[in-house]
Structure 1
Amino acid sequence: MSHNKRGFSVYGPPQPDVSMPRQPQPDVSMPPQPGMSMPLQPGVSITTQAGAPYYCYMPSYNYMPPQQGSSITTQLGASKPSYNYMPPQQGFSMPPPYSQGANTGAAYEQPGYKQGSPPSYNIFSPYSDFEDKSIRRAFIRKVFSILTLQLLVTFSSVAAFTFCDDAKYFVMKNPWMLYTSLALYIVTVIALSCCGDFRRKHPWNLVALSVLTLSLSFMVGLIASSYDTEIVIMAVGITAVVCFSVVLFSLQTKYDFTSWAGVLFVCTMVLLVVGILCIFISNKILHVVYAAMGALIFTCYLAVDTQMLLGNKKLALSPDEYVFAALNLYLDIMQIFLFILRLLGGFSDD
C-alpha cells in the first residue's frame, strides 16, 4: 500500500508520476532530397543565422506550406530548418517544382515550346513557319488563282489587238483611251504598292487590282499590235515556258533567292540608266542589250517573288497580302513578256 501526494492510501502497485515530462517525439520529417525545392508562399520570410546551412525541401507526403505571416528560422549548427508545421489537409497536394533533377538551374519548359525556347517568327509574317502550313497553302492557291485570271484577261487583249485590225484602228483614232489607261495604271499601282491598309481592305483591293489589270492589258495589247503576229506568238510561247520553269524551280529548290533583293535593286538602277540612254541613242545593239538585261532581271524578280509566297525564306509575305503577291507576280510576267517581245523585234529588224 502506498500514499499519493494528497495523503490518500492507494492499493496496488505504485503508479507512475503523471506529471513527469513526456519523451521527445522522433523526427518524422524526411531529409532533403537532391534537386527538390519547395516554392514559398507570398508573405513567408526565411531567416538564416550566420554559419547555419539552409535547405528548402518538399516532404514525400501531402504538406501544407507555411501560411502568410509565418517565419522559418534555422538555428546555429542545425542540419535542417525548424519551421511551423501544419498537419496535411485532405485533398491538398503540392504543385510540381519548377526544376527537377540535378540541373536545378534549367529553364522551366512552357507548354508548346521545345527546349525552353519559343518558336522563331518571320519579321514579315505574323505566322510561324511550322504552324501555318494549311493557311500558307490556301494563300498560295488564292494568289495563283488571281494570277491566272489576270493572265487570261491580258493575253485575251493581246490576241484581240493582234488578230483584229479594227480594234487597233479604233484605238489609234481615239488616243484618249491610251492616256486614260496609263493614268489609271499609275494611280492603282501606286495605291496597291504603297498603301498597305488599302490593299488589305476587302473588296476595294480586288476592285483596284481589277482596274489595274484591265488598264495594263489594254496597253500591252496595244503594244503587241505594233509587232508582227509571228513575233507576238513566239514571245507569248517563250514567256510561258520561262515563267513556268522559273516558278516551278523556285517552289522546289532549297536555295533562297530572296537574299538577292539588294543585288536586284542595284541591277534595276543600272537598267533604268540604260533605258534612258536608249531614248537618246538610236543604236540597235544597245536596244538589244537593254531588252536582254530587262528580261534577265525580271526573271530573277519572278523567282524572288515566288519564294516570298512560301514563308520559309529570308523574306516572306503575310497571308493577308494575297493582292500584293498577285500584283508582284503579274507585273514580273508582263515585264518579261514585253522585254522578250522587244528583243525578238530587235533581231527581226533589217
Structure 2
Amino acid sequence: MNNEVYYQRERTAELQSEFIRRVYNWMGIGLATTALVAMFTASSQSMLQLIFATPMVFFGLIAVELGLVIALSAAINRLQASTAALMFFIYSALNGLTLSAIFLAYTQASIASTFFITAGTFAAMSIYGYSTKRDLTSWRSFLFMGLIGIILASVVNLFLHSESIYWVVTIGGVLVFVGLTAYDTQKIKEMAYQGFGNAEMERKGAVIGALRLYLDFINLFLLLLRLFGGRRE
C-alpha cells in the first residue's frame, strides 16, 4: 500500500512538472515571437511609419490584441488546443508590432539590461509561487484592486501629466505584477491537476497558463523599463 501511494505521488509530481514545462515552453515561444517581431519592425522605417504615423492602424492593433486576450481567456474551454495556440502566437506577434516603439524611446543597452533584471525578478517570484506551501489566494483581491487602481491612475494621468502620479503608478505596478507572477504561478500549478488524463485539456491549460505568465512578464518588463531604461537623446 505504501509503495502504491509513493508511486502515485511520484507519478503526479512527474505529470505536474511536465505540465509546468509546457507552460514555460509556450511562454518562451510567445516572448521570442514578440522580441523578433519588435526588432524587425524597429529596423523597418516603412513598418514604423505604417504603425505609428497612422493612429487608426496603431489603435486597431491594440483593439485586436485586447480582443484576442479576452476571447482566448473566455472561450478556452470551447476552443481546440490548436486554435488556442494559434491565437496566442498571433497575439504575441501583434504585441511585437506595438512594442517596437520601445526601440525608438530607449537605448538597446538599457532594453537588454532591463530584460535581464525582469527575467531574474520573474524567475525568483515564479519559483516562490511554485514552491511555497502558503496559499496565495488571499493576494487575489489586493492584487486585483491594485491593478484597477493603476489602470485608473494611468488614464487620469493622460490628462494631468503629473510626474508624481507617473512614478506612483510605475512603482505600484511593479509591486502588483511581482505579486501576480507568484500568484499566477501557484494557480497554474493547481491547473495541472485539472487536465490529468486528458491530453487536449492539458494542451489548452498550458496555453492559457502561458498567456497569464506572458502578460505578467511583459507588463513587469515595461514598468521596470520606466525605472531603469536609458532614453535616447
Q: Residue 25 of structure 2: which of 120, 123, 145 is its match?
A: 145
**Residue 283 of structure 1 aligns with which residue?**
162
Superposition TM-score, scaled by structure 1 size: 0.55
Return the letter of the residue paired with 2:212: N
C-alpha separation between the residues in 2 aligned to 1:134 and 1:250?
A: 18
SS of the counterpart of 2:189? Answer: coil
Aligned to 1:156: 36
Partner of 1:318: 194
- Counterpart residue number, 1:308: 187
Query: What is the match of residue 4 of structure 2?
Result: none
| 1:11-50 matched pairs, under 5 angstroms | none
Pick aligned residue for 2:105 from 210, 226, 249? 226
Call closer, same or farther: CA 1:195–1:317 in 2, change over 3 Å: farther
Contact 1:184–1:211 (CA under 8 A) maintained in structure 2: no
Shift of residue 275, structure 1, vs aligned partner: 1.6
Deviations 1:199-253 (A, max 9, x none): 4x13111111111111112112224432233432332122112112222232233
The higher relative CO (CA closer than 8 Å, separation ≥ 6) is in 2
The runs of 5 or more residues in structure 2 that have no matched partner are 2-7, 196-200
For residue 326 of structure 1, report the CA deviation from its aligned partner. Answer: 0.7
Corresponding pairs, count: 221
- Cα 1:280–1:130 change in 2 (3 A) is farther
Counterpart among 16, 33, 40 of residue 136 in structure 1: 16
Q: 1:254 to 1:209 in 2, by over 3 A?
A: same
Could you tell me how far 1:133 is from its partner in structure 2?
A: 2.9
Does the 8 Å CA contact 2:50/2:57 hold for their aligned counterparts? no
1:141, CA displacement in angstroms? 1.4
**Distance of aligned partners of 1:276 and 1:253 in 2 relative to their CA distance in 1, 3 Å threshold:** same
Corresponding residue for 2:120?
A: 241
CA distance in 1, matches of 2:182, 2:212: 11
Change over 3 Å in CA distance of 1:242–1:281 after alignment to 2: same
Q: Aligned-pair distance for 1:281?
A: 1.4
1:260 and 2:139 aligned: yes
CA displacement at 1:134 relative to structure 2: 3.1
What is the CA–CA distance in structure 2 between the aligned matches of 1:241 and 1:211, rounded to whole Å?
26
**Partner letter of residue 238 of structure 1?**
I
Residues 226 and 297 (structure 1 numbering): CA distance in 2 closer, same or farther, change over 3 Å? Answer: same
Q: Displacement of 1:316 after TM fit?
A: 7.1
Give the structure 2 partner of residue 341 of structure 1.
225
Considering fraction of residues, name the structure with more helix: 2
For residues 125-159 of structure 1, the C-alpha deviation after alignment (integer angstroms, 9 at most, x for no partner) is xxx98873333222111111111111111222343
Determine what percentage of the aligned residue pairs are the same residue.
22
What is the distance in 1 between the residues matched to 2:89 and 2:215?
A: 13
SS of 1:236's equivalent in the other structure is helix
1:297 is matched by which residue type in structure 2? V
Q: For 1:289 and 1:221, how far apart are their aligned partners in 2?
A: 25
Once superposed, which parts of structure 1, at least 4 consecutive aligned residues long, lie more than 6 Å away? Answer: 128-131, 347-350
Equivalent in the alignment of 2:198: none
Asked if structure 2 preserves the Cα contact closer than 8 Å seen for 1:158 and 1:225, the reply is no
Deviation at 1:269, TM superposition (A): 2.2
User: Which deviations, in whole Å up to 9, do the C-alpha atoms of 1:47-102 show, x marking residues without a partner?
Assistant: xxxxxxxxxxxxxxxxxxxxxxxxxxxxxxxxxxxxxxxxxxxxxxxxxxxxxxxx
Label 1:309 to 1:129 Cα distance change in 2 as closer, same or farther (>3 A).
Answer: farther
Report the TM-score, using the length of structure 2 for normalisation: 0.80
Which residue, 183, 203, 208 being the options, matches 2:87?
Answer: 208
Q: Which has the larger radius of gyration?
A: 1
Change (3 A) 1:325 1:335: same
In structure 2, do the counterparts of structure 1 residues 244 and 254 end up closer, same or farther at CA, with 3 Å as the change threshold?
A: same
- State whether residues 308 and 317 of structure 1, in contact with CA within 8 Å, keep that contact through their aligned partners in structure 2: no
Q: How many angstroms does 1:331 deviate by?
A: 0.6
